[in-house]
Amino acid sequence: GENVEQHPSTLSVQEGDSAVIKCTYSDSASNYFPWYKQELGKGPQLIIDIRSNVGEKKDQRIAVTLNKTAKHFSLHITETQPEDSAVYFCAPGGGTSYGKLTFGQGTILTVHP
């Protein structure tokens, strides 16, 4: 199955700083690369995704970059705000493990005012 590693496991930044979370995967056939945000007491929710034919995608303060050769993709959050504090997960999909989905272990992001 897919091996997924997410780093760092915790990230603490000051408001206004940038944050970067990296996700490394093993299945070279993976072609869908989403990031989910989980706020306290809620289920994860998609914040941005990218497909394998695109190298970068931006949506206001968040962006995702993909390096298919090296098999990793990253979440970038600029001008962080306290409401960005949450747990973030990657979950590369569409690979050879049809139907199976492996999530990264999560990154706890804390943005200090």
Partner 1 sequence: EAQVTQNPRYLITVTGKKLTVTCSQNMNHEYMSWYRQDPGLGLRQIYYSMNVEVTDKGDVPEGYKVSRKEKRNFPLILESPSPNQTSLYFCASSTTSGTQETQYFGPGTRLLVL
Q: Contact positions toward partner 1, by CB under 8 A? A: 1, 6, 31-32, 34, 36, 41-46, 49, 89, 91, 93-95, 97-106
Nearer to partner 1, 78 or 97 (CB): 97
Q: CB of residue 84 vs partner 1: minimum separation in angstroms?
A: 19
- The nearest distance, CB 75 to partner 1, in angstroms, is 15
Least distance CB 24 / partner 1 (angstroms): 14
Residue number, 78 or 94, with CB nearest to partner 1: 94
24-63 exposure pattern, b = at least 16 Cβ within 10 A, e = fewer: bbebeebeebbbbbeeeeeebeebbbbebeeeeeeeeebb
Q: Which of 88, 82, 84, 89 has its CA nearest to residue 104? A: 89
Q: Which is nearer to partner 1, 12 or 45 (CB)?
A: 45
CB of 97 to partner 1, least distance (A): 8
